[in-house]
Structure 1
Protein backbone atom coordinates (compact mmCIF):
# COMPACT_ATOMS: atom_id res chain seq x y z
CA UNK A 1 0.00 0.00 0.00
CA UNK A 2 2.79 2.45 0.95
CA UNK A 3 4.66 1.68 -2.27
CA UNK A 4 1.53 2.30 -4.33
CA UNK A 5 0.89 5.63 -2.60
CA UNK A 6 4.49 6.72 -3.14
CA UNK A 7 4.22 5.86 -6.84
CA UNK A 8 0.97 7.83 -7.15
CA UNK A 9 2.57 10.83 -5.47
CA UNK A 10 5.61 10.63 -7.76
CA UNK A 11 3.35 10.61 -10.80
CA UNK A 12 1.80 13.87 -9.62
CA UNK A 13 5.13 15.69 -9.42
CA UNK A 14 5.32 16.86 -13.07
CA UNK A 15 1.82 18.35 -12.84
CA UNK A 16 2.67 20.06 -9.56
CA UNK A 17 5.83 21.53 -11.05
CA UNK A 18 3.91 22.78 -14.08
CA UNK A 19 1.24 24.37 -11.89
CA UNK A 20 3.87 26.06 -9.72
CA UNK A 21 5.79 27.34 -12.74
CA UNK A 22 2.62 28.77 -14.29
CA UNK A 23 1.58 30.59 -11.12
CA UNK A 24 5.08 31.88 -10.32
CA UNK A 25 5.36 33.17 -13.89
CA UNK A 26 1.93 34.83 -13.93
CA UNK A 27 1.54 36.11 -10.36
CA UNK A 28 5.10 36.18 -9.10
CA UNK A 29 6.65 34.09 -6.35
CA UNK A 30 5.55 36.18 -3.38
CA UNK A 31 1.93 36.46 -4.52
CA UNK A 32 1.58 32.67 -4.90
CA UNK A 33 0.85 30.37 -1.98
CA UNK A 34 1.31 26.63 -1.58
CA UNK A 35 -2.48 26.38 -1.41
CA UNK A 36 -2.75 28.18 -4.77
CA UNK A 37 -0.40 25.68 -6.38
CA UNK A 38 -2.16 22.69 -4.84
CA UNK A 39 -5.54 23.98 -6.00
CA UNK A 40 -4.25 24.58 -9.54
CA UNK A 41 -2.85 21.05 -9.65
CA UNK A 42 -6.02 19.53 -8.20
CA UNK A 43 -4.39 18.13 -5.05
CA UNK A 44 -4.31 18.95 -1.35
CA UNK A 45 -1.54 21.07 0.18
CA UNK A 46 -0.47 17.93 2.02
CA UNK A 47 0.15 16.18 -1.29
CA UNK A 48 2.41 19.04 -2.32
CA UNK A 49 4.31 18.93 0.96
CA UNK A 50 4.97 15.24 0.26
CA UNK A 51 7.40 16.46 -2.43
CA UNK A 52 8.81 19.72 -1.02
CA UNK A 53 9.01 21.01 2.56
CA UNK A 54 8.60 24.73 1.73
CA UNK A 55 7.51 27.13 -0.98
CA UNK A 56 11.11 28.20 -1.52
CA UNK A 57 12.07 24.56 -2.16
CA UNK A 58 9.29 24.43 -4.74
CA UNK A 59 10.70 27.54 -6.43
CA UNK A 60 14.16 25.97 -6.53
CA UNK A 61 12.66 22.84 -8.10
CA UNK A 62 10.92 24.95 -10.77
CA UNK A 63 14.15 26.87 -11.42
CA UNK A 64 16.11 23.64 -11.70
CA UNK A 65 13.65 22.20 -14.21
CA UNK A 66 13.72 25.43 -16.22
CA UNK A 67 17.51 25.50 -16.33
CA UNK A 68 17.59 21.81 -17.28
CA UNK A 69 15.32 22.49 -20.24
CA UNK A 70 17.37 25.43 -21.52
CA UNK A 71 20.64 23.55 -21.01
CA UNK A 72 19.40 20.58 -23.01
CA UNK A 73 18.31 22.82 -25.88
CA UNK A 74 21.52 24.88 -25.90
CA UNK A 75 23.70 21.78 -25.76
CA UNK A 76 21.78 20.14 -28.59
CA UNK A 77 22.32 23.09 -30.95
CA UNK A 78 25.88 23.89 -29.88
CA UNK A 79 26.95 20.28 -30.36
CA UNK A 80 26.03 20.54 -34.05
CA UNK A 81 28.99 22.88 -34.63
CA UNK A 82 32.75 22.72 -34.23
CA UNK A 83 33.74 26.32 -35.03
CA UNK A 84 33.74 28.46 -31.85
CA UNK A 85 31.94 31.43 -33.44
CA UNK A 86 29.18 29.22 -34.81
CA UNK A 87 28.84 27.41 -31.48
CA UNK A 88 28.40 30.82 -29.84
CA UNK A 89 25.78 31.76 -32.41
CA UNK A 90 23.88 28.50 -31.85
CA UNK A 91 23.87 29.12 -28.11
CA UNK A 92 22.28 32.54 -28.65
CA UNK A 93 19.72 31.00 -30.99
CA UNK A 94 18.85 28.22 -28.55
CA UNK A 95 18.58 30.62 -25.61
CA UNK A 96 16.17 32.83 -27.55
CA UNK A 97 14.08 29.88 -28.66
CA UNK A 98 13.86 28.69 -25.06
CA UNK A 99 12.72 31.99 -23.53
CA UNK A 100 10.40 32.97 -26.39
CA UNK A 101 8.43 29.71 -26.51
CA UNK A 102 6.08 30.92 -23.73
CA UNK A 103 7.19 28.16 -21.36
CA UNK A 104 6.25 29.00 -17.79
CA UNK A 105 9.57 27.57 -16.59
CA UNK A 106 11.57 29.94 -18.80
CA UNK A 107 9.42 32.89 -17.70
CA UNK A 108 10.11 32.10 -14.03
CA UNK A 109 13.87 32.16 -14.65
CA UNK A 110 13.55 35.56 -16.33
CA UNK A 111 11.02 37.03 -13.90
CA UNK A 112 12.25 35.79 -10.50
CA UNK A 113 15.75 37.03 -9.70
CA UNK A 114 17.75 35.36 -6.91
CA UNK A 115 17.84 38.54 -4.84
CA UNK A 116 14.03 38.66 -4.92
CA UNK A 117 13.89 35.56 -2.71
CA UNK A 118 16.58 35.93 -0.07
CA UNK A 119 15.90 32.58 1.57
CA UNK A 120 16.58 30.75 -1.72
CA UNK A 121 19.07 33.17 -3.29
CA UNK A 122 22.13 30.92 -3.00
CA UNK A 123 20.37 27.95 -4.58
CA UNK A 124 18.88 30.05 -7.38
CA UNK A 125 22.27 31.60 -8.14
CA UNK A 126 23.79 28.13 -8.28
CA UNK A 127 21.25 27.15 -10.93
CA UNK A 128 21.95 30.31 -12.96
CA UNK A 129 25.70 29.75 -12.66
CA UNK A 130 25.28 26.17 -13.85
CA UNK A 131 23.83 27.54 -17.06
CA UNK A 132 26.08 30.59 -17.44
CA UNK A 133 29.14 28.34 -17.26
CA UNK A 134 28.31 27.27 -20.80
CA UNK A 135 28.50 30.85 -22.05
CA UNK A 136 31.76 31.39 -20.15
CA UNK A 137 33.29 28.49 -22.08
CA UNK A 138 31.82 29.55 -25.41
CA UNK A 139 33.05 33.13 -25.04
CA UNK A 140 36.49 32.00 -23.89
CA UNK A 141 36.80 29.92 -27.06
CA UNK A 142 36.17 32.95 -29.28
CA UNK A 143 39.68 34.31 -28.83
CA UNK A 144 38.54 37.89 -28.26
CA UNK A 145 41.13 40.70 -28.17
CA UNK A 146 42.68 41.18 -24.73
CA UNK A 147 41.01 44.58 -24.36
CA UNK A 148 37.58 42.92 -24.43
CA UNK A 149 36.07 41.72 -21.16
CA UNK A 150 34.59 38.21 -21.40
CA UNK A 151 32.74 38.76 -18.13
CA UNK A 152 31.10 41.99 -19.27
CA UNK A 153 30.30 40.45 -22.63
CA UNK A 154 28.55 37.53 -20.95
CA UNK A 155 26.59 39.75 -18.54
CA UNK A 156 25.51 42.19 -21.26
CA UNK A 157 24.55 39.39 -23.61
CA UNK A 158 22.48 37.37 -21.15
CA UNK A 159 20.81 40.52 -19.81
CA UNK A 160 19.82 41.57 -23.33
CA UNK A 161 18.67 38.07 -24.27
CA UNK A 162 16.52 37.74 -21.16
CA UNK A 163 14.88 41.10 -21.84
CA UNK A 164 13.84 40.04 -25.34
CA UNK A 165 10.38 38.70 -24.36
CA UNK A 166 9.46 42.21 -23.16
CA UNK A 167 9.60 43.71 -26.65
CA UNK A 168 9.92 40.95 -29.22
CA UNK A 169 6.89 39.72 -31.13
CA UNK A 170 7.73 36.70 -33.21
CA UNK A 171 6.81 37.10 -36.88
CA UNK A 172 6.41 34.15 -39.21
CA UNK A 173 9.72 32.52 -40.05
CA UNK A 174 12.91 32.00 -38.10
CA UNK A 175 14.83 33.92 -35.49
CA UNK A 176 17.80 34.43 -37.81
CA UNK A 177 17.39 38.21 -38.08
CA UNK A 178 17.42 38.81 -34.35
CA UNK A 179 20.27 36.34 -33.83
CA UNK A 180 22.23 38.19 -36.53
CA UNK A 181 21.76 41.45 -34.63
CA UNK A 182 22.87 40.00 -31.31
CA UNK A 183 25.97 38.54 -32.91
CA UNK A 184 26.76 41.80 -34.72
CA UNK A 185 26.30 43.96 -31.64
CA UNK A 186 29.11 42.10 -29.92
CA UNK A 187 31.44 42.29 -32.90
CA UNK A 188 31.44 38.59 -33.66
CA UNK A 189 31.02 37.53 -37.28
CA UNK A 190 30.92 33.75 -37.57
CA UNK A 191 32.57 32.58 -40.75
CA UNK A 192 30.40 30.34 -42.88
CA UNK A 193 27.18 31.71 -41.43
CA UNK A 194 25.78 32.56 -44.83
CA UNK A 195 26.21 29.04 -46.11
CA UNK A 196 24.81 27.30 -43.06
CA UNK A 197 21.23 26.07 -43.34
CA UNK A 198 18.92 28.06 -41.14
CA UNK A 199 17.05 26.31 -38.32
CA UNK A 200 13.43 27.13 -37.71
CA UNK A 201 12.27 27.57 -34.10
CA UNK A 202 10.41 24.65 -32.60
Structure 2
Protein backbone atom coordinates (compact mmCIF):
# COMPACT_ATOMS: atom_id res chain seq x y z
CA UNK A 1 0.00 0.00 0.00
CA UNK A 2 2.80 2.40 0.96
CA UNK A 3 4.60 1.62 -2.31
CA UNK A 4 1.43 2.32 -4.31
CA UNK A 5 1.01 5.66 -2.58
CA UNK A 6 4.63 6.61 -3.35
CA UNK A 7 4.21 5.68 -7.02
CA UNK A 8 0.96 7.64 -7.23
CA UNK A 9 2.65 10.61 -5.62
CA UNK A 10 5.52 10.44 -8.11
CA UNK A 11 3.08 10.38 -11.04
CA UNK A 12 1.22 13.39 -9.61
CA UNK A 13 4.46 15.31 -9.22
CA UNK A 14 5.42 14.50 -12.81
CA UNK A 15 2.05 15.77 -14.03
CA UNK A 16 2.52 18.99 -12.03
CA UNK A 17 6.03 19.44 -13.37
CA UNK A 18 5.06 18.90 -17.01
CA UNK A 19 3.43 22.33 -17.57
CA UNK A 20 6.52 24.02 -16.12
CA UNK A 21 8.74 22.11 -18.50
CA UNK A 22 6.50 23.05 -21.42
CA UNK A 23 6.70 26.72 -20.38
CA UNK A 24 10.50 26.86 -20.50
CA UNK A 25 10.81 27.50 -24.29
CA UNK A 26 8.24 30.32 -24.05
CA UNK A 27 10.07 31.95 -21.14
CA UNK A 28 13.40 31.71 -22.95
CA UNK A 29 11.89 33.24 -26.09
CA UNK A 30 10.56 36.16 -24.07
CA UNK A 31 13.94 36.61 -22.42
CA UNK A 32 15.60 36.75 -25.83
CA UNK A 33 13.08 39.36 -27.05
CA UNK A 34 13.63 41.54 -23.98
CA UNK A 35 17.42 41.41 -24.25
CA UNK A 36 17.29 42.04 -28.00
CA UNK A 37 15.02 45.04 -27.43
CA UNK A 38 17.47 46.46 -24.89
CA UNK A 39 20.44 46.00 -27.20
CA UNK A 40 18.66 47.29 -30.30
CA UNK A 41 17.68 50.41 -28.35
CA UNK A 42 21.22 50.93 -27.04
CA UNK A 43 23.36 49.93 -30.00
CA UNK A 44 20.99 50.04 -32.96
CA UNK A 45 19.94 47.14 -35.15
CA UNK A 46 23.06 47.15 -37.30
CA UNK A 47 25.35 47.52 -34.29
CA UNK A 48 23.88 44.50 -32.50
CA UNK A 49 24.90 40.97 -33.42
CA UNK A 50 23.19 37.68 -32.68
CA UNK A 51 26.28 36.81 -30.64
CA UNK A 52 25.69 39.94 -28.51
CA UNK A 53 22.09 38.91 -27.90
CA UNK A 54 23.07 35.34 -27.06
CA UNK A 55 25.68 36.56 -24.57
CA UNK A 56 23.19 38.90 -22.90
CA UNK A 57 20.66 36.07 -22.67
CA UNK A 58 23.22 33.63 -21.30
CA UNK A 59 22.96 31.02 -24.04
CA UNK A 60 25.20 29.78 -26.82
CA UNK A 61 24.92 31.66 -30.11
CA UNK A 62 23.90 28.48 -31.88
CA UNK A 63 21.04 27.95 -29.42
CA UNK A 64 19.63 31.36 -30.31
CA UNK A 65 18.85 30.14 -33.82
CA UNK A 66 16.60 27.47 -32.32
CA UNK A 67 14.19 30.28 -31.43
CA UNK A 68 14.82 32.79 -34.24
CA UNK A 69 16.27 31.97 -37.64
CA UNK A 70 17.80 35.43 -38.13
CA UNK A 71 18.33 38.81 -36.52
CA UNK A 72 15.68 40.20 -38.85
CA UNK A 73 13.10 37.72 -37.59
CA UNK A 74 14.02 38.65 -34.03
CA UNK A 75 13.60 42.34 -34.84
CA UNK A 76 10.06 41.60 -36.04
CA UNK A 77 9.29 39.87 -32.73
CA UNK A 78 10.67 42.82 -30.75
CA UNK A 79 8.68 45.30 -32.85
CA UNK A 80 5.50 43.25 -32.44
CA UNK A 81 5.95 43.12 -28.66
CA UNK A 82 6.50 46.88 -28.52
CA UNK A 83 3.44 47.64 -30.60
CA UNK A 84 1.38 45.31 -28.41
CA UNK A 85 2.47 47.16 -25.28
CA UNK A 86 1.51 50.49 -26.85
CA UNK A 87 -1.86 49.18 -28.02
CA UNK A 88 -2.74 47.78 -24.60
CA UNK A 89 -1.42 50.75 -22.62
CA UNK A 90 -2.97 53.48 -24.74
CA UNK A 91 -6.20 51.57 -25.32
CA UNK A 92 -6.67 51.14 -21.59
CA UNK A 93 -5.80 54.77 -20.81
CA UNK A 94 -8.60 56.24 -22.93
CA UNK A 95 -11.35 54.01 -21.58
CA UNK A 96 -14.14 55.95 -19.85
CA UNK A 97 -13.01 59.38 -21.13
CA UNK A 98 -15.64 61.18 -23.19
CA UNK A 99 -14.03 64.46 -24.23
CA UNK A 100 -12.04 63.92 -27.48
CA UNK A 101 -9.16 66.21 -26.46
CA UNK A 102 -8.96 64.64 -23.01
CA UNK A 103 -8.86 61.22 -24.67
CA UNK A 104 -5.95 62.24 -26.90
CA UNK A 105 -4.16 63.77 -23.93
CA UNK A 106 -4.55 60.54 -21.94
CA UNK A 107 -3.34 58.56 -24.96
CA UNK A 108 -0.26 60.78 -25.30
CA UNK A 109 0.54 60.44 -21.60
CA UNK A 110 0.25 56.65 -21.81
CA UNK A 111 2.30 56.54 -25.03
CA UNK A 112 5.19 58.47 -23.50
CA UNK A 113 5.06 56.45 -20.29
CA UNK A 114 5.26 53.17 -22.20
CA UNK A 115 7.96 54.52 -24.48
CA UNK A 116 10.21 56.06 -21.85
CA UNK A 117 9.57 54.17 -18.62
CA UNK A 118 9.13 50.57 -19.73
CA UNK A 119 11.47 48.40 -17.66
CA UNK A 120 10.44 45.09 -19.21
CA UNK A 121 10.62 46.14 -22.84
CA UNK A 122 12.53 49.06 -24.29
CA UNK A 123 10.02 49.85 -26.98
CA UNK A 124 11.41 50.93 -30.33
CA UNK A 125 9.26 53.15 -32.51
CA UNK A 126 11.33 53.88 -35.58
CA UNK A 127 10.36 56.02 -38.59
CA UNK A 128 12.47 53.87 -40.90
CA UNK A 129 13.07 50.16 -40.70
CA UNK A 130 16.58 48.67 -41.14
CA UNK A 131 17.55 48.38 -44.79
CA UNK A 132 18.30 44.67 -44.40
CA UNK A 133 14.81 43.87 -43.08
CA UNK A 134 13.73 42.97 -46.63
CA UNK A 135 10.93 40.43 -46.72
CA UNK A 136 9.72 41.35 -43.23
CA UNK A 137 8.95 44.98 -44.04
CA UNK A 138 5.29 44.38 -44.88
CA UNK A 139 4.79 42.60 -41.56
CA UNK A 140 6.36 45.49 -39.67
CA UNK A 141 4.19 48.00 -41.51
CA UNK A 142 1.04 46.06 -40.60
CA UNK A 143 2.10 45.98 -36.95
CA UNK A 144 2.68 49.73 -36.91
CA UNK A 145 -0.47 50.52 -38.90
CA UNK A 146 -2.64 48.71 -36.35
CA UNK A 147 -1.46 51.09 -33.64
CA UNK A 148 -1.66 54.16 -35.85
CA UNK A 149 -5.28 53.32 -36.62
CA UNK A 150 -6.01 53.57 -32.90
CA UNK A 151 -4.51 57.07 -32.86
CA UNK A 152 -6.31 57.94 -36.10
CA UNK A 153 -9.62 57.14 -34.43
CA UNK A 154 -8.83 59.49 -31.57
CA UNK A 155 -7.84 62.27 -33.98
CA UNK A 156 -10.94 61.77 -36.11
CA UNK A 157 -13.11 62.61 -33.09
CA UNK A 158 -11.38 65.95 -32.46
CA UNK A 159 -13.13 69.22 -33.33
CA UNK A 160 -10.17 70.42 -35.41
CA UNK A 161 -10.29 73.90 -36.93
CA UNK A 162 -11.18 74.17 -40.59
CA UNK A 163 -8.24 73.69 -42.90
CA UNK A 164 -6.38 71.33 -40.51
CA UNK A 165 -5.90 67.99 -42.22
CA UNK A 166 -6.49 65.09 -39.74
CA UNK A 167 -3.90 62.90 -41.48
CA UNK A 168 -1.15 65.50 -41.17
CA UNK A 169 -2.26 66.27 -37.60
CA UNK A 170 -1.97 62.57 -36.64
CA UNK A 171 1.51 62.29 -38.13
CA UNK A 172 2.52 65.47 -36.31
CA UNK A 173 1.31 64.12 -32.96
CA UNK A 174 2.95 60.72 -33.39
CA UNK A 175 6.17 62.32 -34.60
CA UNK A 176 6.37 64.55 -31.54
CA UNK A 177 5.60 61.69 -29.15
CA UNK A 178 8.11 59.31 -30.72
CA UNK A 179 10.84 61.92 -30.93
CA UNK A 180 10.92 62.06 -27.12
CA UNK A 181 13.05 58.90 -27.28
CA UNK A 182 15.93 60.97 -28.63
CA UNK A 183 16.03 63.71 -26.00
CA UNK A 184 14.36 62.44 -22.84
CA UNK A 185 16.65 61.56 -19.94
CA UNK A 186 15.57 59.73 -16.75
CA UNK A 187 15.13 62.15 -13.89
CA UNK A 188 14.13 65.03 -16.17
CA UNK A 189 12.07 67.87 -14.69
CA UNK A 190 8.85 66.55 -16.22
CA UNK A 191 7.89 62.86 -16.03
CA UNK A 192 7.03 61.09 -19.32
CA UNK A 193 3.28 61.22 -18.76
CA UNK A 194 3.34 64.99 -18.26
CA UNK A 195 5.49 65.44 -21.36
CA UNK A 196 2.84 63.61 -23.38
CA UNK A 197 0.09 65.78 -21.93
CA UNK A 198 2.04 68.97 -22.62
CA UNK A 199 2.57 68.03 -26.26
CA UNK A 200 -1.18 67.69 -26.78
CA UNK A 201 -2.01 70.82 -24.78
CA UNK A 202 0.23 72.87 -27.05
CA UNK A 203 -1.93 71.83 -29.98
CA UNK A 204 -5.22 72.10 -28.13
CA UNK A 205 -4.64 75.56 -26.68
CA UNK A 206 -1.96 76.75 -29.10
After TM superposition, the score normalised by the length of structure 2 is 0.78
How far off its partner does 1:174 sit? 7.3
Cα shift at 1:40: 1.1
Shift in Å at residue 58 of structure 1? 0.3
Aligned counterparts of 2:62 and 2:133: Cα–Cα separation in 1:
25
Q: What SS does structure 2 have at the residue aligned with 1:163?
A: helix
**Cα distance between partner residues in 2 of 1:17 and 1:107:** 11
- Please name the residue that 2:181 is paired with: 165
For the pair shown, the structure with the greater C-alpha radius of gyration is: 2
* Cα contact 1:114–1:125 (8 A) shared by 2: no
1:23·1:32 contact (CA, 8 Å) conserved in 2? yes
Distance between the aligned counterparts of 1:52 and 1:153, measured in 2?
38
Decide which of 11, 14, 22 is 2:30's aligned counterpart: 14
Q: Deviations over 1:23-42 (max 9, x none)?
A: 11111111212222112101
Residue from 178, 183, 188 that aligns with 2:200: 183
Identify the residue that residue 151 of structure 2 maps to in structure 1: 135
Gaps of 5+ in 1: 190-202
- The Cα shift of 1:108 comes to 2.6
Q: Would the alpha carbon gap of residues 86 and 72 (structure 1) be closer, same or farther in structure 2, given more than 3 Å must change?
A: same
Aligned-partner SS, 1:114: coil
- Report the Cα offset of residue 123 of structure 1: 1.9
After superposition, the Cα gap between the structure-2 partners of 1:45 and 1:96, relative to the gap in structure 1 and judged at 3 Å, is: same
Matched, 1:40 2:61: no
Gaps of 5+ in 2: 1-18
The count of corresponding residues between Structure 1 and Structure 2 is 185
Change (3 A) 1:5 1:175: closer
